[in-house]
Structures are given as structure tokens and as C-alpha cells.
Amino acid sequence: QTYLADIPLGAPDAILGIAENFKKCTDPNKVNVCIGAYRDENGKPWILPSVRAAEKIMMDDENENKEYASIAGDAAYVEQAIKFAYGQDCDLSVIAAVQTLSGTGACRIGGEFLSKFFPVKKIYIPDPTWGNHIAIFQEAGMEVVRYRYYNRATNGLDLEGMLEDITNAPDGAVVLLHACAHNPTGCDPTKEQWKTISDLIKKKNLQVFFDSAYQGFASGDAEADAFALRYFVEEGHNVMLAQSFAKNFGLYGERCGTLSFVTNDADEKERVLSQVKKIIRPMYSSPPIHGSSIVRTVLTDEQLTKQYYEECAFMANRIGSMRKLLVDELKKAGSTHDWSHITSQIGMFAYTGMNSDMCDELTSKSSIFLTRDGRISLAGLNENNVSYVAKAIHAVTD
């Protein structure tokens, strides 16, 4: 016997565990509305045609190679990614940025940086939030504190609660904000509310950490979805940003993202970059190159960029039409509940308001797989299954 005999069994990941159960389920009517990955109208994963076109260009390019990227990744990709987020006219001379292993990797490297250098080792994250945020920042050595975000009674933003909790945070702590399409609630502050939040954060001298995993998925327009980030930068916040291209480019498995810091001058930028690289080098040395080459190829080609924006809008629109269809089908099934929050929410998810018992029942009786917080990934719905799902939801919520 070795020490391995004493290793306790770890709990499966809340989301990925459900995805495993879906795979095992043999019910022909089974529906996966658990995981946040886009599906086309036939329920199949979709490679964006602009991504395919970029891959073809890369295949045919004799200068392409499989060399290592540098620790900070492909500089040309990083530049395009940063302009995509902060705007074409952003001041690159003060933005310290590295390529990361998608949004998760960006959050983790950012967390490691904060825990190493930031004086107040407390990060305030919304309640609820993407489940992995808690583990990521705790594993990085930060204390995770929650701020109120969502009002379950009104199915809307709890702005008052949010402002109160941020007011009570110690000056100089970190506050994590979802840049757009808040996961899991699909509920974002309005422009006016963002301004109020920015003013308070400035007054309290808090460090803003934006997590942007859905730019383009909220409104269908990646420019419009960058409002909060760009507004905060305009207002003088030295924000940090974790950026993911998993959803908006459909590059989930390519693990392609960035982590960036808006610094005060070029010298500060260099020093920050040098320390971020010191965190990355002993962790995974350098990032993968395929996904970043795709994003770089698309965003440096005017025609492909235009095509890409249309395809991103197409995904957002399909999801938007599923929202409407789900509510229509719920009414048709006889539900008299107010489901209007489903159509007012944005992004990939509907935060239905169903409790965990209802979710369990949906899974056990109808083989509909979802997280136990009542979140439904609208991308998993299509014209063939939406009526089945609506009837099942009606049956557990009636």
C-alpha cells in the first residue's frame, strides 16, 4: 500500500459532473441545458465559418510553425485581443497584457498576482457568480467575500444590496465585476447603474477585476458589450481584465484568453509584465498557440473581422429567439407564472428561479440536465426540444 490508498474521493465539479451524467443518460429525449457552450439549431457544436477560414489560411501559410510562444504569448494576438476589449483607440503603451489559458487561466494568474502583490487580500465577488470564481481565487490565496447581486423576489439586479455591500468592503479591497452577460443570472446593470457603481468603487479606492467571458454574446455586438469596461477605464480606474474567447469565438477547447492591467505609465507596465511572466513560467511556461493564431488571423483581416462580427451576432440572436420561444411554449403548456425575466435577461443563460428540488425533478423525470440553481443554457435549446423542455418546466413549477 502507498499513500494513494488514503486519498479521499473528491466531489465532482458541480457543472462538469452534470455534463458527465448527461453523457451517461440513455433517454432519447435527454436535453443538456447545463453547460455554457453554444449549440446550433440542431443541437450540434458550431465552428464559426470565420474561424474555419482562418484555420485554412494558417494551414496554407508556409511561415506557420509549431514553435513555442513566449511566456506572455503571441504579442500580435495579444494586441488584437486588447483592442477588441478596450477599443481600437485604447492606449496600448500603458496596458500590461499576456496571453492566458482562456478566461479561467486569466482569473487564476490574476488571482496569483493579487495574492502576491496586492495589499488587501480580499476579493468581493457577486452572489451568485460563476461557481469556479470561488475556488480560483481561494486557490490563488485570496479571501473570497460575496456581495449581493441578484434579487430573487424581483428576478432583477439588487443594486441597493450591491452598493451597500461594496460600501462596507474595506477600502482598497478587490471587487470582481462581470463585464457583461452576468453568469448565471443574465442580469447586467444598466449604463446609469454602472456609473453609480463606478463612482462608489472610485470613492472606496477599490481594485476592479473585470471578468469578460461573453463579449458579443450579450447584445450580439461586441462593441456595445464592452461598455462597462471602457467606461471604467475612461473614469480612470486601473482595472484588471480577464478575457476569454471561448464563447464569442467558439474556441472553448483552444484555451485562448488574455489577462491585462491598465497601469499608469510605460515603466509600471513593464514591471507588472515582468512579474506576471514570473508567475506563468514555473506554472505552464507558455500558452498554446492554435487558438490565439485563429483570433489573430481573424482580427487582422478586415473581411474576416466583419464576417466574425456577423457570426457572433447570429449566435446571440439565436439565443435571444430561444428566450422568446421558451416563454411562448411555457404559456402554451399552460403556465400562468410571470416568466418575463427570461426575455429581459441577456447572454447565454436563463436564470429561471426554479429551486434545487425542481431542478432535480426535471433531471430525474424528464432527463433535462441543468445546474441545481435553476440556470438553463439557452444554447442547448432548439425548435425540436423547446416545447418538451417547456412542458417539463411547467410540470415541476405548476
Q: Which residues bind ligand PMP (CB under 6 A)?
A: 36, 102-104, 130, 178, 183, 211, 213, 244, 246, 252, 257
Closest distance to ligand PMP from the beta carbon of 46 (Å):
16
**Shortest distance in whole angstroms from residue 293 CB to ligand PMP:** 17
Measured from the CB atom, the residue of 104 and 366 that comes closer to ligand PMP is 104
All cell numbers assigned to 164: 451597500
CB atoms within 10 A of CB 194: 18
Nearer to ligand PMP, 35 or 272 (CB): 35
- Residue 46 annotated as catalytic: no
CB of residue 246 to ligand PMP, shortest distance in Å: 4
Q: Which is nearer to ligand PMP, 183 or 335 (CB)?
A: 183
Exactly one of 46, 130, 194, 339 is catalytic; which is it?
Answer: 130
Q: How far is the CB of 2 from ligand PMP (least distance, A)?
A: 33
Long-range residue pairs from 59-68, CB within 8 A, at least 24 positions apart, any chain: 64/293, 66/289, 68/285, 68/286
294 Cβ partners below 8 Å, 6+ apart?
51, 54, 55, 58, 249, 251, 254, 256
CB of 157 to ligand PMP, least distance (A): 16
Contact 225, 244 (CB under 8 A): no
197 three-class SS: helix
- Nearer to ligand PMP among residue 177 and residue 342 (C-beta): 177
d(CA 229, CA 251): 22
For ligand PMP, which is the closer residue by CB, 22 or 252?
Answer: 252
Question: Which of these is catalytic: 247, 269, 339, 373?
Answer: 247
Give the number of other CB atoms < 10 A from CB of residue 107: 26
Smallest distance, ligand PMP to C-beta of residue 178, A: 6
Q: How far is the CB of 260 from ligand PMP (least distance, A)?
A: 15
Minimum distance from residue 161 beta carbon to ligand PMP (Å): 20
Tell me which H or E stretch contains 151.
strand 150-151
Q: Cell numbers of 15, please?
A: 457543472
CB 262 within 8 A of CB 94: yes
The three cell numbers of residue 206 are 477599490
What is the secondary structure of 350-374 as a DSSP string? Answer: EE----HHHHHHHHHHH-EE--TTS
Pairwise CA distance, residues 380 & 32, whole Å? 6
Q: Any idea which residue has 466531489 for its cell?
A: 11
d(CA 280, CA 105): 10
Residue 244 Cα distances to 104, 178, 183, 254, angstroms? 8, 12, 14, 11
Q: Cα(209)–Cα(26) distance, rounded to whole angstroms?
A: 42
β-pairing verdict for 375-377 and 257-262: unpaired
Active-site choice (74, 158, 188, 211):
211
Pick 19 or 396: Cβ nearer ligand PMP? 19
Q: 130 an active-site residue? A: yes
C-alpha cell at 107: 482569473
Nearest to ligand PMP of 132, 196 (CB atom): 132
Nearer to ligand PMP, 38 or 252 (CB): 252
66 is catalytic: no
Catalytic residues: 130, 211, 247
